């Protein structure tokens, strides 16, 4: 259980867990209990809030009261004195046990998050960065005040950071495939490149190797001297000669891992608690009609195949999907369709070995 206490005013928050799952159509409620001492609270009121905030600048850049932080979502409940219409109608088993154990001054609360909120994301800080990292975070805070709008002093509040994560959806969509043809000067016939993924279902979990099938039909008079495969946080170059008027087929493997990219500032990571380790950020799943402005950070992944030919002024590059198009949720996780479209996406999900089950989609291709 998660527990935090502020001794000076004897205010404590109890939560059964710190990770809350977004199932796309619904989000697990945030339920807990606040324990207080009426004598130290005195004539003030006790409130509890759930906040989703987007921090887009470092703490040391905050000047003249202007902070690089925006609250995307805020819910507030008055716990003490109790307000009938703000009291949970039913208690969870955890709340029942806690209120029975902690006594009459334990007050339960329940927050139901909206379904259009982003998941917890942290941007990897640089070596010289200090203070809180940029990204999206969620926080439960209990505090004493006469009014919830007044400035809250730290000595009168207690807070817990929580995470909003997503389970990997069950997908039946086919693996994406895309292709491109380039015509060169001084060559009657073109160079054709086709790329596809090595899995029938285009979902990858954190740590999974991503296989990229590359098929080249070189009907030109030029020699392809280099093939470069790049995925998020990893680039693989192969010195492969594809002779003029020949074909080539091979599967290349890239494995994007955070452990190999600790030095990359600004890399999007799944939100983390304190010093716990995390993964590369998971793909953003959008419901139809969602407002992208409220999401703060959109995460998508791409695989890029580049061919370098002799005596060519520019390389031939094939990208799938476009980096600005996040994966869109479809009812009942239906097939994505348009397999050959460059808008086909890649996905990557994470493995949480402590839970021994899959959680939080990662990259989708």
Tokens 């997503």 sit on residue = 166
* Cβ-count burial 178-217 (b if 16+ within 10 Å, e if not): bebebebeeeeeebbbbbbbeeeebbbbbbbebbbbbebb
How far apart are the C-alpha atoms of 126 and 47, rounded to whole Å?
36
Contact between 347 and 361 under an 8 Å Cβ cutoff? The reply is: yes
- Band (182; pLDDT cuts 50, 70, 90): confident
Instruction: Tell me what pLDDT residue 209 has.
Output: 87
247: three-class secondary structure by DSSP: strand
- Strands 106-111 and 30-36 come out as antiparallel
How far apart are the C-alpha atoms of 220 and 183, rounded to whole Å?
8
Share of the chain above pLDDT 90, in %: 22
325: three-class secondary structure by DSSP: coil
* Cβ-count burial 15-30 (b if 16+ within 10 Å, e if not): bbebbbbbebeebeeb
State the chain's maximal CA–CA distance in angstroms: 89
How far apart are the C-alpha atoms of 334 and 342, rounded to whole Å?
18
For 344-355, how does the pLDDT look when each residue is reduced to its tens digit (9 = 90+)? 333 333 322 222
Backbone angles phi, psi at 38, to 5 degrees: -55, -30
For 233-252, how does the pLDDT look when each residue is reduced to its tens digit (9 = 90+)? 555 666 778 888 899 999 98
Which residues, in sequence order, are CB contacts of 279 under 8 Å at separation 6+? 206, 258, 269, 270, 350, 360, 362
Instruction: Tell me what pLDDT residue 32 has.
Output: 94
- Select the more confidently predicted residue: 127 or 178: 178
Residues in the chain, overall count: 365
The domains of the chain, with CATH numbers, are 11-166 (2.60.40.840), 177-267+291-330 (2.60.40.640)
For 294-343, how does the pLDDT look when each residue is reduced to its tens digit (9 = 90+)? 677 888 888 888 888 876 656 667 676 544 444 444 333 322 222 222 33
For 88-134, how does the pLDDT look when each residue is reduced to its tens digit (9 = 90+)? 889 999 999 999 999 989 999 999 998 888 889 888 877 676 667 78
CA torsion sign, 342 to 204 to 358 to 282?
negative
Q: What is the pTM of this model?
A: 0.74
């Amino acid at each position: 259980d998660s527990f935090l206490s502020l001794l000076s005013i004897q205010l404590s928050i109890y939560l059964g867990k710190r990770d809350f799952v977004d199932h796309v159509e619904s989000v697990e409620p945030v339920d807990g209990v606040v324990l207080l001492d009426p004598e130290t609270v005195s004539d003030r009121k006790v409130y509890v809030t759930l906040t989703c905030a987007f921090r887009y600048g470092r703490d040391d850049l905050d000047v003249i009261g202007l902070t690089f932080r925006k609250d995307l979502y805020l819910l507030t409940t008055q716990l003490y004195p109790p307000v009938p219409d703000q009291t949970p109608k039913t208690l969870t088993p955890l709340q029942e046990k806690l209120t029975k154990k902690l006594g009459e001054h334990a007050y339960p609360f329940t927050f139901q998050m909206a379904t259009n909120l982003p998941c917890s994301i942290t941007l990897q800080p640089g070596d010289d960065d200090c203070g809180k990292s940029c990204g999206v975070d969620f926080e439960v805070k209990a505090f004493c005040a006469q009014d919830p709008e007044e400035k809250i002093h730290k000595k009168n509040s207690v807070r817990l950071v929580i995470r909003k994560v997503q389970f990997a959806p069950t997908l039946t969509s086919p693996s994406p495939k895309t292709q491109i043809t380039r015509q060169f000067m001084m060559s009657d016939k073109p160079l054709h490149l086709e790329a596809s993924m090595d899995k029938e279902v285009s979902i990858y979990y954190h740590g999974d190797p991503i296989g990229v099938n590359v098929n080249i039909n070189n009907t030109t008079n030029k020699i392809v001297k280099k093939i470069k495969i790049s995925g998020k946080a990893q680039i693989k170059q192969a010195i492969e000669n594809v002779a003029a008027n020949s074909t080539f087929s091979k599967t290349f493997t890239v494995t994007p891992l955070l452990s190999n990219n600790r030095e990359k500032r600004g890399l999007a990571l799944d939100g983390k608690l304190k010093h716990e380790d995390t993964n590369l950020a998971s793909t953003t799943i959008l419901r139809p009609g969602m407002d992208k402005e409220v999401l703060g950070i959109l995460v998508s992944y791409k695989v890029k195949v580049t061919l370098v030919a002799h005596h060519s002024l520019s390389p031939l590059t094939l990208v799938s999907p476009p980096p600005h198009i996040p994966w869109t949720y479809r009812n009942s996780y239906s097939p994505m369709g348009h397999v050959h479209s460059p808008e086909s996406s890649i996905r990557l999900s994470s493995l949480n070995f402590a839970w021994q089950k899959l959680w939080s989609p990662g990259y989708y291709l």
